[in-house]
Structure 1
């Protein structure tokens, strides 16, 4: 088997691989290189978000993303308040808060939109990685009027909350199972350790499928609403399964009593996701603003991300007690929340601030670029123990002109 010379195995990973017999599943590999406490890309805080980092997120471009999203979040809180829900405090929960800037900017924007809400809101950040939490603490420490705390889903399930949960670019970073279809058989993709001239390299290897994968294949018709695998696939067709997503929805269902959940992420319809032409799946590696299909290069120093399948994500949510309210592309969602007004307001800014105006305009346009961030999907879900509770999903409505 040919070995990719760029796929060197770092010293810290060699021990993990040897302990597991020299081969691990791709799921385990992805989990290790992203989340290993001492060496993972996320857990060490090695990840850098923003224009000068490894990749840009919508919140990292400017605070305009949060200001637009706050229109929807404030609406949900006001709906909950109007619904006379039995709670003393509403919770704004962000899962995987990144640098913490989205939460900070949301609170600031809500204060502008509905200042009376602030005294009724707490901010809860769900962050598993110590390195990222340390950076978040510095960003949110000066938020005024709102108590901020860190928690995890297990702790929150013991004292469930009422409010709004946001997961922005979170699920795409969940470790995934990679499936390889070859010679009319299906294999679980693994990663193997190879030693050549006293140097260790990583390479892909075929493993037997698990019972869980077999169940996914058996359920594929109802999950995906398409033929799976699709017709006319090549002899080494590879795709992914987000096996942790149903577990996540199950845990989250115990966290929220009444309120909304917004998932914003890379996502595709099943007919586009599980397509014969998409022969290598959706997984991609990011480092220094560059995308790479070499998933074994620079292990622990790159981000790995895979798109969600919309149909299976919605199915997993519904089967775990969530009500699906609808979905939209980010470009459409932001226009419905008033992005055109933001763009129009730039015309009235002082000409002395031309560079600032142009930078802000560029950031706003990047948020809706159909070749980039504008293709993110917003998926809204709701939970409630009151039949009379109505939460308006403004972002699913017609755009504001």
Structure 2
């Protein structure tokens, strides 16, 4: 049955018609998010913040960056103490969004360690022109530090030493959706359906690729789980982030020595590949509303899927990274001193009460276990002939 809200815009009709009328869900997700002329990200339609399509941690104010900067400074100082020689230390952000996190990090680092900021550069990796134009307006006025945009391929040819941050990025990578039904596995696709001279989208089952079958086989041994899990319903769906191992491979080549922090929606494999989770983790966002209708408003909505923690760690390890640890965002920020930020609000004057209450709300949202506090922080390190020991303050017991 066709969903009447899953209307297909002309640009997508033309593209899918040229492909025979059906494409994989992976290709569909990539098109609606990243198509240069019509994608949600590439056109700059994405609006981040309290009045936008969704909130990110940096969009709630600069406190997230001020706390994260404490950990980032530790990592830079650890590199410096190790005796590693580098003309500049690089802070690299993958998919910088509005650019506010990079800006606020640099401002905070300059306050914490002013001598360090003089030996740093900021590198932003952004594929979409629409988002880069917005980032330029935010970070180009930063003083005391060189800021540049790059792509991963250029950085591979000239690798750097420093810290790489991927905040709320990997969940938007296109995914393969796998459908298990009647003791068979299929690759989910998207097909055109014409009704009364109007085009709609519908989900269809396609033959699985060899890569999908290898993923299922490898995951059984690596994660020690069954595909599909026992007692599934008649139709059970999950996702595979097939581009994540490729990213870890590339990132390992852009960094000579340093650390990588991934912050994103993620859950353990036993929760991810669970019989109860019959429709996977994929969700659509628009105007602060989550929607399970993933075919609605193509090119006008965000699509996101959780990461599997164990799979992500395995992808990193197999591409030369060392795993330093992981925790929930709420615990990480409390370990970095969020409670002291909250305590300082007690001294707010009556004239500033409204701003203080807004800040308190934002701080609490960062650690809310039903929201942003459930994000996972996964940290990795890369060293080249150095016995690097990083101080991972975010993994310590929370500061009271």
TM class by shorter chain equals: over 0.9
Moved more, 387-396 or 308-317: 387-396
* CA contact 1:225–1:270 (8 Å) conserved in 2: no
For 2:53, the equivalent position in structure 1 comes to 54
Moved more, 341-350 or 199-208: 341-350
For 2:217, the equivalent position in structure 1 comes to 218
> d(CA) in 1 for partners of 2:111 and 2:61?
17
TM superposition outliers: structure 1 runs of 4+ over 6 Å: none
Q: Deviations over 1:202-221 (max 9, x none)?
A: 00111000010010011122
Q: Which consecutive unaligned segments of at least 5 residues does structure 1 have?
A: none
Is 2:3 the partner of 1:9? Answer: no
Q: CA deviation at 1:228?
A: 2.3
For 1:160, the equivalent position in structure 2 comes to 159
For 2:304, the equivalent position in structure 1 comes to 305
Q: Deviations over 1:68-123 (max 9, x none)?
A: 00000011011111111111100000000000000000000001111111110000
For 2:98, the equivalent position in structure 1 comes to 99
For 2:114, the equivalent position in structure 1 comes to 115
> d(CA) in 2 for partners of 1:347 and 1:377?
29
TM-score in terms of structure 1 length = 0.99
Across the two proteins, how many residue pairs are aligned to each other? 400
Q: Which consecutive unaligned segments of at least 5 residues does structure 2 have?
A: none
**Secondary structure in 2 matching 1:148:** strand
> d(CA) in 2 for partners of 1:387 and 1:200?
58
Q: CA deviation at 1:399?
A: 1.1
For 1:369, the equivalent position in structure 2 comes to 368
5 Å-filtered alignment, 1:2-401, equals: 2-401=1-400
RMSD (CA atoms) = 0.7
**Secondary structure in 2 matching 1:334:** helix
* CA contact 1:225–1:311 (8 Å) conserved in 2: no
**Secondary structure in 2 matching 1:88:** coil
Q: CA deviation at 1:387?
A: 3.6
Q: CA deviation at 1:142?
A: 1.0
Q: Deviations over 1:141-169 (max 9, x none)?
A: 11110000000111100000000000000
> d(CA) in 1 for partners of 2:227 and 2:109?
44
TM-score in terms of structure 2 length = 0.99
> d(CA) in 1 for partners of 2:100 and 2:399?
26
* CA contact 1:104–1:143 (8 Å) conserved in 2: yes
> d(CA) in 1 for partners of 2:294 and 2:129?
25
Q: CA deviation at 1:390?
A: 1.3
> d(CA) in 2 for partners of 1:387 and 1:100?
32
